[in-house]
């Protein structure tokens, strides 16, 4: 939990920096809320049950429906609003690395702002969070635009856009042969399938998106969407978030996205996506009956925790000074208690060791419990007012006035 | 959530100050874990169900069983350990003020330390948290010792100690007549019932506990327990936590307490208890088969939130500077974006307003969304590099260099 608490702190701090306000919603929602949005299939992978009041309820498997429902219940808040939340979510699935049955997810959304800068503030917040965790340079954000992909699929004679997007979504999981086979079934020819496959196989620097699309599909009028995407990209550049690539294979499986879509990955490609999201201007009307521009992301804690552990990026957080006061002479007990109160009043983390085991046992227990320093108090220390501070990782000891502890 | 986030922050900060480490556990546990400890009655007030793997599970209604189970699973951690957690808990009950079906609860426990100073560190942490929230002077901690009460009940001829404690536990909910009637049924005479009733009707300053007990029960050998309690009290005094009273009516309903018990209340008596806990050295052996000294408390967020709202103690937290940048000339957009990035890089909370509504609409929306200042950017500002900062609560405006914003 030291790692996770550190992650949550940086999430909250970054959200505030971008002007997002905290919200929360219940862990239990009516099953209908998810039926509306995602259908029965999602519900078959949830912890759902009938409660004592005979309601069909589910432990929330995702955050967005609750957020939108909440917004519908608070119709009068002047828009735009920027909200964040770090709820626990539950899915009944086989647990895998980076995907557990229970996890916490950082969610941030902007409602009532259709501008590309809102898209940039959402992606920027995700980047700021990763940067704050020390991951700058280790991740890339892959972005794309749903409507560009729909235009392309259209021009290639798709039989069903949703199905086409779902096939593209499996790009990194299927062989080229399998992809071509699936795309051929969706598009009007195998030639088209191959062209699309070649197109989605190449990521480029985000500012080169137009070039790349025009190279493959010179006759498609995609500019109104790419202009929008380019504005988002330049805002991100202005804020110094630079690891953004245009990736036509990023389409996001869920059907409700209507504009920009994006996912964050570690550059080495070892892990699942770190975060993902996009613009979803239609979802609100399904849930609340009122259309409302919306863009947001979700960022789970499990992949981040793995990344931070691998890169040892949490140790600094754990290594802040934590003192334990070990009293080796019964008569010094009062002195030790006073010292503990004193240090805490100065904002210094200090605990007392009270079990009167021998010193070496106390030191071993202190080290195992993440204390960084032991303050050892005997009769001599009590009388002189100078205490012995032992660094628990190096074993080094020094004498100091209590005012010298920090 | 501004209030609640503030509460959670102070809880985490206080826990760290006392050397507690964060833990977490699943929201779902086997029903057996609670059957063992609390019996079927508690389970009838939970969200319990059979999952897709045919397991009898429950959404955790309290934190301690999970904490103890976790400790049993990590047997090798050198003791003592100091753990805290702020889980969500669920109970299927009629919601009431200060008692909702879902709530968050701050839990802190020390395991493997039977000393009275450990008791003091637990109570001290509860006090430190309330002080950190600005409640110093507004609350009192009522403490008592289970074994003193058991000695007293014994000496008065109790037929069943648990039942006797449960009757005392209802002291503040029943009339004197009803109490005497119930106690008479439990004790050997109505005289004894009246004596006990008189005893539990008086709270005294914590350091006067011995005196009070001796006055009523001169022949009971309670000193070994009160010495223990007095040591706890003097540690609390040494740390300057002074609103501690000895209250013989505080016994805590749950049967598993074995030593000191305590509850925190607002002094005006308007609310339910703010926190409660005690020493429970036997619970571990029930759950893990291994006996282990333990003391801890639980502090819900609902009563605290009510208290802080009533006393307006959360406004300072919400009133930290939050800037929104409103661009009133299209050509200044780039300048505004740069400024946003710039402020954030300096750790200043800054959002951009992108909806290009008229200025007064933007200001209204900004105020409703808790921004404290608007930075208004037009052509003039872009050219001069000086910006207009408007205080959204006073309406005051001033011109400043962007470096003057903080």
| DSSP string of A193-214, one letter each residue | HHHHHHHHT--EEGGGHHHHHH
Q: What is the pLDDT of residues A301-341, one digit of tens each?
A: 999 999 999 999 987 776 689 999 999 988 999 999 999 99
Q: Which residue of B has its CA nearest to A77?
A: B368
CA distance B276 to chain A (A): 21
Q: What is the DSSP letter of A353?
A: E
Query: Which range, A11-25, A37-51, B23-37, has the best average confidence (pLDDT)?
Result: A11-25
From the CA of A79, how many Å to the nearest CA of chain B?
6
Answer whether B355 sits within 8 Å of A12, measured CB to CB. no
Nearest in space to B80 (alpha carbons), one of A130, A352, A94, A95: A352
Chain A's closest residue to B51, CA to CA, is: A47
Cα–Cα dist A71/B38, whole Å = 39
Q: In the listed set B284, B310, B336, which residue is the last one of a domain according to the structure?
A: B310
Q: Is A369's CB within 8 Å of B81's CB?
A: yes
Q: What average pLDDT score do residues B345-369 get? A: 89
Instruction: Examine the pLDDT at A22 and tell me if it is beyond 70.
Output: yes
Half-sphere exposure of A46 toward its Cβ, with a 13 Å CA cutoff? 26
- B365 plus B286 within the same structural domain: no
A387 within domain boundaries: yes
Please name the residues between 303 and 322 in chain B that touch chain A, using a CB distance below 8 Å: 322
B316 falls within a domain: no
Task: Please indicate, yes or no, whether residues A327 and A244 belong to a single structural domain of this protein.
Answer: no
Kindly report the CATH number assigned to the domain that includes residue B217. 3.30.930.10
- Residue among B2, B12, B354 minimizing CB distance to A117: B354
Distance CA B366, CA A78 (A): 8
Q: Are B369 and A82 inside 8 Å of each other by CB?
A: yes
Q: What residues contact B183, with CB distance under 8 A and at least 6 apart? A: B164, B167, B192, B193, B196, B197
Q: pLDDT at position B95, please?
A: 87
Domain check: are B306 and B335 in the same one? Answer: no
* Cβ atoms of A104 and A1 closer than 8 Å: no
The whole-number average pLDDT for the span A210-214 is: 96
User: Is A28 in Cβ contact with B77 (below 8 Å)?
Assistant: no
Instruction: Identify the band that residue B318 occupies on the pLDDT scale cut at 50, 70 and 90.
Output: low
Please state at what angle helix B190-200 crosses helix B176-186, rounded to 10 degrees.
130
User: Do residue B19 and residue A351 have CB atoms under 8 angstroms apart?
Assistant: yes
Q: Residue A102 is nearest to which of B27, B78, B92, comparing CB atoms?
A: B27
Residues B292 and B328 placed together within one structural domain of the fold = no
pLDDT band at A180 (very low <50, low <70, confident <90, very high): very high
Q: Considering only alpha carbons, which residue of chain B is nearest residue A365?
A: B78
User: Is B119 in contact with B279 (CB distance < 8 Å)?
Assistant: yes
Q: H or E stretch including A168?
A: helix A161-169
Per-residue 3-state assignment (H helix, E strand, C coil) for chain B: CHHHHHHHHHHHHHHHHCCCEECCCCCEEEHHHHHHHHHHHHHCCCCEEECCCCCEEEECCCCHHHHHHHHHHCCCCCCCEEEEECCEEECCCCCECCECCEEEEEEEEEECCCCHHHHHHHHHHHHHHHHHCCCCCCEEEEEEEHHHHHHHHHHCCCCCHHHHHHHHHCCCCCCHHHHHHHHHHHCCCHHHHHHHHHHHCCCEEHHHHHHHHHHHCCCCCCHHHHHHHHHHHHHHHHCCCCCEEECCCCCCCCCCCCCEEEEEEECCCCCCCCEEEEECCCHHHHHHCCCCCEEEEEEEHHHHHHHHHHCCCCHHHHCCCCEEEEECCHHHHHHHHHHHHHHHHCCCCEEEECCCCCHHHHHHHHHHCCCCEEEEECHHHHHHCEEEEEECCCCCEEEEEHHHCC
Contacts of B338 in chain A (CB under 8 A): 238
Q: What three-state secondary structure class fits A312?
A: coil
Residue A356's pLDDT is what?
63
**Which residue of A354, A362, A367 to mutate against B (max B Cβ within 10 Å)?**
A354
Q: How many residues does chain A have?
A: 406
Half-sphere exposure of A352 (CA within 13 A, CB side): 34
Categorise residue B160: left if φ over 0, alpha if ψ from -120 to 50, beta otherwise: beta
Tell me the two tokens of residue B35. 């059957």
Q: How many residues does the structure list for chain B?
A: 406
* A positions 112-131 inside 8 Å of B (CB): 112-115, 117-118, 121, 128
Q: What is the pTM of this model?
A: 0.94
Note whether A18 contacts B115, CB cutoff 8 Å.
Answer: no
- When the pLDDT of each residue in chain A is averaged and rounded to a whole number, the result is 93
Q: How many CB atoms are located within 10 Å of the residue B273 CB? A: 18
Query: Mean per-residue pLDDT for A39-50?
Result: 85
Model confidence at A297: pLDDT above 80: yes
Which domain range does residue A126 map to? 2-310
User: What's the pLDDT at A318?
Assistant: 67
Here the tokens at position B360 are 């007064």
Q: Which token pair is A201?
A: 């196989």
Tokens of B169: 């536990």
**B285 and B346 assigned to the same domain:** no
Asked if B21 and A235 come within 8 Å (Cβ–Cβ), the reply is: no
CA B363 to CA B341: how far, in whole Å?
Answer: 21
Rounded Cα–Cα distance for residues B97 and B105 (Å): 16
B85 in the same domain as B113 = yes
Instruction: Based on the fold, state whether residues A363 and A223 are members of the same structural domain.
Output: no
Predicted local confidence at residue B256, as pLDDT = 84
Same domain as B327, residue B253: no
Q: Please check the confidence at residue A94 and state whether its pLDDT lies above 70.
A: yes
> What is the pLDDT, as a whole number, of residue B120?
97
ipTM of the complex: 0.93
Interface contacts (A, B; CB < 8 Å): 176
Among B23, B51, B77, the residue with its CB nearest the CB of A92 is B51
- B contacts of A347 (beta carbons < 8 Å): 17
Contact yes or no for B355 and A113 at CB 8 A: yes
Cα end-to-end distance, chain B, whole Å: 25
Residue A221 is assigned to a structural domain of this protein: yes
Does the residue A389 lie in any domain? yes
* Range B145-176 burial, b when 16+ CB lie within 10 A, else e: bbbbbbbbbebbebeeeeebbbbbeebeeeee
- How far is B79 from B403, CA to CA, in rounded Å? 52
Beta bridge partner(s), residue B398: B389
How far is residue B157's CA from residue B172's CA, in Å, rounded to a whole number?
Answer: 23
Determine, for residues B369 and A21 on separate chains, whether the beta-carbon distance falls below 8 Å: yes
Asked whether residue A399 is domain-assigned, the answer is: yes
CB contacts, 8 Å: B240 with chain A? 341, 345
**pLDDT bracket for residue A174 (50, 70, 90):** very high
Chain A hits for B5, Cβ within 8 Å: 12, 22
Confidence at residue A355, expressed as pLDDT on a 0 to 100 scale: 77
Q: Decide which of A282, A310, A338 is a domain's last residue.
A: A310
CB B78 within 8 A of CB A365: yes
Residues in contact with A52: Cβ distance below 8 Å, sequence separation at least 6, in sequence order? B92
What is the phi/psi pair of residue A157, to 5°? 75, 40
CATH number at residue B353: 3.40.50.800
What is the C-alpha to C-alpha distance for residues B89 and B336, in angstroms, rounded to an integer?
44
**Cβ <8 Å between B344 and A27:** no
Q: List beta partners, residue A278.
A: A261, A296
Residues of A100-122 as b/e, b for ≥16 C-beta within 10 angstroms?
A: ebbbbbbbbbbbbbbbbbbbbbb
Residues B275 and B342 occupy one common structural domain: no
**3-state SS assignment for residue A282:** coil
- Asked whether the beta carbons of B406 and B321 are under 8 A apart, the reply is yes
Report how far Cα B395 is from the mean position of its chain's Cα atoms: 38
Other Cβ atoms closer than 10 A to B77: 14
Q: Looking at the domain assignment, is residue A113 inside a domain? A: yes
Q: Residues 38-77, chain A: which have Cβ within 8 Å of B?
A: 47, 49-52, 59, 77
| Average pLDDT score over chain B | 93
3-class DSSP assignment, residue A156:
coil
Per the structure, the count of domains in chain A is: 2
Shortest distance, CA A231 to any CA of chain B (angstroms):
10
Closest CA of chain A from B3, distance in Å: 10
- Do residues B292 and B151 both lie within one domain? yes
Angstroms from B35 CA to nearest CA on chain A = 19
B67 inside domain: yes
Q: Positive or negative, the Cα torsion across B20, B22, B27, B33? A: negative
The residue of chain B nearest to residue A240, with distances taken between CA atoms, is B341
How far is the CA of A368 from the CAs of A79, A361, B82, B385, in angstroms?
50, 11, 12, 55
State yes or no: pLDDT of B356 exceeds 70.
no
Residue the block writes with tokens 């209204």:
B364
Listed in sequence order, the residues at least 6 apart from A239 whose beta carbon sits closer than 8 Å to its beta carbon are A120, A124, B337, B340, B341, B344
Tell me what the mean pLDDT of segment B389-398 comes to.
Answer: 95
- Whether residue B338 lies inside any domain: the answer is yes
Q: Would you say residue B41 has pLDDT above 80?
A: no
CB distance B140 to B161 below 8 Å: no
Q: Identify the weakest region by mean pLDDT among A210-219, A299-308, B113-122, B379-388.
A: B379-388
- pLDDT reported for residue B316: 72
Residues A291, A330 share a domain: no
Tell me whether B17 touches chain A (CB under 8 Å).
Answer: yes
Report strand pairing: B260-266 vs B139-145.
Answer: antiparallel
Last residue of a domain, one of A310, A335, A366: A310
Residues B364, B297, single domain; the answer is no
Helix and strand numbers, DSSP H then E, in chain A: 16, 18
């Amino acid at each position: 939990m030291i790692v996770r608490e550190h992650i949550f702190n940086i999430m909250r701090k970054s959200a505030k920096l971008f002007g997002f306000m905290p919200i929360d919603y219940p862990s239990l929602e009516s099953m209908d809320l998810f039926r509306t949005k995602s259908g029965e299939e999602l519900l078959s992978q949830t912890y759902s049950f009938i409660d004592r009041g005979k309601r069909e309820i589910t432990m929330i498997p995702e955050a967005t429906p609750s957020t939108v429902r909440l917004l519908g219940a608070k119709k009068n808040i002047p828009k735009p609003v920027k909200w964040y939340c770090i709820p626990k979510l539950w899915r009944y699935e086989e647990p895998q690395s980076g995907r557990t049955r229970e996890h916490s997810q950082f969610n941030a959304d902007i409602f009532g702002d259709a501008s590309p800068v809102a898209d940039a503030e959402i992606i920027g917040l995700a980047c700021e969070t990763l940067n704050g965790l020390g991951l700058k340079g280790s991740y890339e954000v892959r972005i794309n635009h749903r409507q560009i992909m729909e235009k392309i699929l259209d021009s290639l004679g798709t039989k069903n856009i949703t199905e086409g997007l779902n096939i593209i979504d499996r790009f990194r999981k299927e062989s080229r042969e399998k992809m071509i086979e699936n795309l051929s079934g969706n598009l009007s020819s195998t030639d088209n399938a191959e062209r699309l496959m070649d197109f989605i196989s190449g990521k480029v620097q985000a500012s080169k998106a137009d070039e790349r699309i025009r190279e493959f599909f010179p006759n498609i009028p995609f500019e109104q969407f790419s202009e929008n995407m380019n504005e988002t990209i330049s805002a991100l550049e202005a804020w110094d978030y630079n690891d953004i690539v245009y990736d036509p294979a990023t389409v996001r499986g869920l059907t409700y996205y209507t504009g920009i879509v994006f996912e964050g990955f570690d550059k080495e490609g070892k892990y699942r996506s770190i975060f993902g999201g996009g613009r979803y201007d239609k979802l609100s009307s399904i849930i609340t009956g009122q259309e409302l521009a919306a863009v947001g992301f979700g960022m789970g804690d499990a992949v981040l925790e793995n990344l931070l552990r691998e890169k040892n990026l949490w140790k600094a957080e754990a290594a802040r000074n934590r003192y334990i006061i070990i009293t080796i002479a019964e008569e010094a007990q009062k002195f030790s208690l006073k010292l503990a109160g004193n240090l805490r009043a100065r904002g210094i983390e200090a605990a007392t060791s009270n079990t009167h085991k021998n010193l070496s046992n106390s030191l071993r227990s202190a080290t195992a419990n993440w204390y960084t320093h032991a303050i050892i108090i005997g009769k001599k220390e009590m009388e002189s007012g100078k205490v012995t501070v032992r660094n628990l990782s190096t074993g080094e000891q020094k004498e100091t006035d209590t005012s010298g502890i920090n």
